[in-house]
């Protein structure tokens, strides 16, 4: 049971929150878990990320809400869902999640927008329409010294263009957004268990970790049930198979039937056959080699 008040009216967005969303498409920070509660939840979550995924058959930091109860619980606290329902409507799918771990010395993540969720070969988008709200949940303290998230106010109005950049660029693609070298961002400094929300259109990134502490968070991405996710895709834009993937209905109801739905996990560590576990590293290498999975 969650340690904070679960009444939906306890999570009503204020007039200031709505104004922030309308102006900048981000809002927060809020608290889902106390630091003490996160101290108990975090080891369960990190253990889940270290095991082979029951959904994919290999180790991955993506979509572990599908097979680890602790990760699913972390991202679906009522403090999160009730606020997102006020932004997107009551009928919500959890369609994607990812761990973000930045150790001491961890690198910069260049500015980008949510259109960086391309579908396979970028000819079909991952979600149609591109409407989503991301919850960024701090598993550890997140501050400017260890590379907390930073967002650019007013950047959501248009899709911004890329330009070539020397080095690895954005997610290894040799690109960066034009015109964001001298902007003044908002830095979201968070205690463990706190989160903020932002839309797919906001320009965001993070600085290097210049501290001696880890910065670890998890991003949970939500979209209305009217959205089509991974339409007709066997492989998603990151080179991962969609056969074991499903969307999870986390709030309201689905009257559209556009997507493959499935249940949340019941345990932290679902059983996996010895044979499938042994094949895990080979399966991962195959998707890396054939489909370009990172």
Q: What is the mean pLDDT of residues 226-252?
A: 92
State yes or no: pLDDT of 1 exceeds 60.
Answer: no
Average pLDDT over the chain reads 89
Q: What is the mean pLDDT of residues 7-19?
A: 87
Q: What is the mean pLDDT of residues 203-214?
A: 93
Segments making up each domain of the chain, as ranges: 8-291
Comparison of pLDDT for 181 and 40, the residue scoring more: 40
Percent of the chain with pLDDT over 90: 65
Candidates 180, 166, 88; CA nearest to 129 is 88
Comparison of pLDDT for 170 and 284, the residue scoring more: 284
- Whether pTM exceeds 0.75: yes
Q: What is the pLDDT of residues 98-114, one digit of tens each?
A: 999 999 999 888 888 77
Domain at 8-291: CATH architecture: Sandwich (2.60)
State yes or no: pLDDT of 7 exceeds 60.
Answer: no
> Which residue, chain included where needed, has tokens 């080891």?
43
Confidence of residue 5 (pLDDT cuts 50, 70, 90): very low
Q: What is the mean pLDDT of residues 9-28?
A: 94
Percent of the chain with pLDDT over 70: 90
Q: What is the pLDDT of residue 172?
A: 58
Q: Are 179 and 124 in contact (CB under 8 A)?
A: no
């Amino acid at each position: 049971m969650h340690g904070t008040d679960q009444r939906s009216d306890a999570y009503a967005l204020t007039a200031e929150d709505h104004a922030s969303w309308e102006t900048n498409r981000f809002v927060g920070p809020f608290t889902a878990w106390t630091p003490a509660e996160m101290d108990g939840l975090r080891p369960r979550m990190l253990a889940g990320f270290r095991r082979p995924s029951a959904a994919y058959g290999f180790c991955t930091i993506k979509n572990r809400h599908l097979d680890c109860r602790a990760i699913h619980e972390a991202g679906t606290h009522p403090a999160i869902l009730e606020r997102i329902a006020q932004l997107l409507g009551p009928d919500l799918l959890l369609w994607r999640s990812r761990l973000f771990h930045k150790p001491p010395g961890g690198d910069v993540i260049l500015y980008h927008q949510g259109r960086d969720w391309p579908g396979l070969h970028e000819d079909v988008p991952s979600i149609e329409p591109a409407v989503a709200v991301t919850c960024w949940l701090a598993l550890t303290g997140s501050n400017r010294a260890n590379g907390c998230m930073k967002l650019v106010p007013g950047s959501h109005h248009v899709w911004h263009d890329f330009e070539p950049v020397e080095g690895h660029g954005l997610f290894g693609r040799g690109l960066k957004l034009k015109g964001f070298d001298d902007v003044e961002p908002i830095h979201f400094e968070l205690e463990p268990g706190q989160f903020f929300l932002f839309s797919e259109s906001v320009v965001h990134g993070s600085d290097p970790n210049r501290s001696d502490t880890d910065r670890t968070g998890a991003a949970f991405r939500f979209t209305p049930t009217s959205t089509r996710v991974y339409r007709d895709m066997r492989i998603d834009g990151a080179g991962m198979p969609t056969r074991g993937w499903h969307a999870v209905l986390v709030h309201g109801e689905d009257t559209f039937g556009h997507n493959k739905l499935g249940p949340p996990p019941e345990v932290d560590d679902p059983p996996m056959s010895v044979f499938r576990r042994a094949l895990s590293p080979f399966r991962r290498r195959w998707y890396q080699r054939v489909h370009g999975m990172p």
